[in-house]
Structure 1
Amino acid sequence: MAFILPEYRTPDFTAEPFKSAPAARFEAAPKAGVAPGDYHATSIYPEYFQVAPGDWRLPRESRMDCVVVLQSDGSLTVKEFRHIAAGELVAIGRRENCEDGIFVHSGAFGQPDTLSDKFAFRTQVSRETAFSADYDELYGLLDHERNHGFILWVLGPAVSFDRDARNAFTLLVRNGYVDGLLAGNALAAHDIEGALFNTALGQDLYTKRHVPLGHYKHLDAINRIRELGSIEAAIRIGMVSGGIMDAVTRAGVPYVLAGSIRDDGPLPEVIANVYAAQDRMRDLARRATTVIAMATQLHSIATGNMIPAYRVMPDDSVRPVYFYTVDMSEFAANKLADRGSLTARSILTNAQDFVVNLERGLLGK
């Protein structure tokens, strides 16, 4: 059965409490990077602001823990605190059901099914949860998104540690299921190590046998790329052939490698400045309609904080944004919800197995 996006429920602004709501208030930012005292902080949900009587406006792009700025043309922009300019008009008020001219639309796409029984087993996601239906739904979603959305992947290095997983993800790239990639130095370094030496952290990609002086391999890979000046240069001359970075580069898939305090090298493309990296990540996150984050807790949480529950499309329609987190650890998967990504769906499994199963389900039909 073909995947169908759920319908967006636009509020009835002619009914209460909208009819009696005051206009939203906006106050000037006292200085650059500082919001007025009673600022309104955004959530993951669609939020409407009454900028004039009867004129309720939805920001086209949002993310949690930011402020809403009223532009001179009447449009609304969601900004991180560090991007607030002195004197910009920032939305004021912390009541979310029209009392301050602000409405947080948490039921925009309907409410999840609720249990009729007050007592039931296995209501939380765990390693005992059945995920067959989740895979089937994901196959349909990704087939839809390949033609109508933007699929953003957030990858930890584990995906590059296994031959079959690495090959499977490469096939997903080549077949249009990858529109953007967020990762760190490790994913790219070990993927390139695999291309150069058929190892990851000194282990053979298939047999897992340690090779002689294997602990040098990822450093040798980084060093060779640094000598050439870029990953792209290594691909262009044929030094790096096959694997994830080769696939995304050849397909023109945009990627961001965000630096870490623990990085080796790092590779030339790694963005060392954390806020520059965050801005580049958000450039891709604001385009995403589906996100799949695998085996990288910090990158997953960071991306989750940038992803709202909705996306306003070019034709002004509003659709949900899907967020999947894949990890072996229940703690890591549930951490996203703890940090505010309440709509994230978890699949608890080995990241390599997930990629292989996904590729077979999508391409092995």
Structure 2
Amino acid sequence: MNFELPQFIAPNFNQDFLIDAPNCTTIEVIKEGVAPKNYHAMSIYPEYFKINGNWVLPVESRMDCVPVVVTNNKIEVVEFRNLNIGDKVVVGRTEDASEGIYVYTKGFKSKSKNKDTFAFRSRRSRETAFSKDYDELYEILKYDREHGHIVWVLGPAVVFDYDTRKALSLLIEKGYVHAIMAGNAMATHDLEAGLLGTALGQNIYTQESIPMGHYNHLDLINEARRAGSLENLIAEGNIKDGVVRTCIENTIPLILAGSIRDDGPLPPVIANVYKAQDAMRTQARKATTVICLATTLHTIATGNMTPSYTIRDNKVRPVYIYNVDISEFATNKLGDRGSLEVKTIVANVQDFMVHLKNNLISL
């Protein structure tokens, strides 16, 4: 099967309502970090802005941020906190081109023509059939390994299991991971497993709790802080395997965002929440596929940073977002926050990872 990206069908700008639409209106920022009244807030969809008679699509977008006109053919999408005095913010809250703002939701047409008003199992849940989703994901990952930027968002459950750590490490080695975003816990317990064979003091294979094992993750953090960096810790040769070691050995960006509940934390954990957000958005801007595993808060944060489209090689293409969790609450939560384009899979993340490894890597 040869995977092909769906073709983006741009708006027909020869339609009267787009031809007759006015140029968008901008108001300059007069106070640092504060948008003018009636600012326009972005959605996850492609949005066009009319400037000097031409419709302009921002190259990089983000929900809940504001469009700033930089030149006649360039618009940057900026967080409120990053607004500077003099920035020209687009104002207007209509989406139908009547104010020079056109939100376009039909660029990637659905293949499904069967849209009955009533149907059983129309929402995705533990009763959903996921075989087709897995097959599609395999093809997307094969394509984006060479042509895209695959970002993984990980909760600590991913590294609590022997087979899962091995599967993800192999996927990193084989080029299916271009960046990982997580918290202190994921990296800590992965390194604990690499050093001591446990996660939170429990053997990652036998599930046996080790005597005084509740010290293990603290001992690991202390060792990492003594070494001064994860690179130094890995270089000492005591971390036998794992996701973090494989990332470092393959120069894969590992973005660790801090939390109020963190132990330690590990040396590279970003304590300032906005610096962490900036580091995460660097990866979200480049993302073509995002896979979120068993981490509700990091998933919502990443989903809010990631639009439904990106532009690669001057072509508009979809950004695929997958949210995998054993909890239906967690999988539904991202949709409740406005990221409607996400594909959810209700599954144990350990099983999910092993499926991916078995179907993408021939050992």
Paired residues for 1:277-296 under 5 Å: 277-296=276-295
Identity of aligned residues (%): 53
Equivalent AA in structure 2 for residue 77 of structure 1: E
Deviating more after overlay: 216-225 vs 237-246: 237-246
Shift of 1:16: 2.3
Equivalent AA in structure 2 for residue 360 of structure 1: N
Deviations 1:117-162 (A, max 9, x none): 3322111111111111111111111000101100000000001100
Question: Partners of 2:166 and 2:115 in 1: how far apart?
Answer: 45
Equivalent AA in structure 1 for residue 33 of structure 2: G
Deviating more after overlay: 88-97 vs 231-240: 231-240
Matching of residue 196 in structure 1 with residue 195 in structure 2 = yes
1:102 corresponds in structure 2 to 101
Deviations 1:33-59 (A, max 9, x none): 001101000000011101111x11011
2:30 corresponds in structure 1 to 30
Secondary structure, aligned partner of 1:108 = coil
Asked if structure 1 preserves the Cα contact closer than 8 Å seen for 2:49 and 2:102, the reply is yes
Deviations 1:189-240 (A, max 9, x none): 0000001100001100100000010100100110000011011101112122
Question: Partners of 1:264 and 1:241 in 2: how far apart?
Answer: 23
Question: Partners of 1:339 and 1:57 in 2: how far apart?
Answer: 27
1:9 corresponds in structure 2 to 9
Flag the 1:30–1:63 CA change in 2: closer, same or farther, 3 A. same
Paired residues for 1:299-318 under 5 Å: 299-313=298-312, 315-318=313-316
- Gap regions ≥5 residues in structure 1: none
Equivalent AA in structure 1 for residue 358 of structure 2: R
Question: Partners of 1:38 and 1:10 in 2: how far apart?
Answer: 27
Paired residues for 1:314-325 under 5 Å: 315-325=313-323
Paired residues for 1:20-169 under 5 Å: 20-53=20-53, 55-72=54-71, 74-111=73-110, 113=112, 115-169=114-168
Shift of 1:10: 0.9
2:244 corresponds in structure 1 to 245
Question: Partners of 1:146 and 1:116 in 2: how far apart?
Answer: 33
Asked if structure 1 preserves the Cα contact closer than 8 Å seen for 2:56 and 2:73, the reply is no
Deviating more after overlay: 133-142 vs 108-117: 108-117
Asked if structure 1 preserves the Cα contact closer than 8 Å seen for 2:154 and 2:182, the reply is yes
Question: Partners of 2:163 and 2:115 in 1: how far apart?
Answer: 43
Asked if structure 1 preserves the Cα contact closer than 8 Å seen for 2:52 and 2:72, the reply is no
Superposition CA RMSD, Å: 1.1
2:325 corresponds in structure 1 to 327
Question: Partners of 2:254 and 2:233 in 1: how far apart?
Answer: 17
Question: Partners of 1:214 and 1:141 in 2: how far apart?
Answer: 40
Shift of 1:73: 6.0
Asked if structure 1 preserves the Cα contact closer than 8 Å seen for 2:51 and 2:72, the reply is no
- How many residues end up aligned between the 2 structures? 363
Equivalent AA in structure 1 for residue 252 of structure 2: V
Question: Partners of 1:279 and 1:112 in 2: how far apart?
Answer: 36
- Gap regions ≥5 residues in structure 2: none
Shift of 1:354: 0.6
Deviating more after overlay: 332-341 vs 104-113: 104-113
Shift of 1:30: 2.2
Secondary structure, aligned partner of 2:210 = coil
Deviations 1:46-104 (A, max 9, x none): 11101111x11011100100000011464110000000001210001111010010111
Question: Partners of 2:43 and 2:107 in 1: how far apart?
Answer: 13
Secondary structure, aligned partner of 2:255 = strand
Question: Partners of 1:72 and 1:290 in 2: how far apart?
Answer: 30
Shift of 1:116: 4.2
Paired residues for 1:266-281 under 5 Å: 266-281=265-280
TM-score with structure 1 setting the length: 0.98
| Match for residue 337 of structure 2 among 336, 339, 354 | 339
Question: Partners of 2:277 and 2:58 in 1: how far apart?
Answer: 20
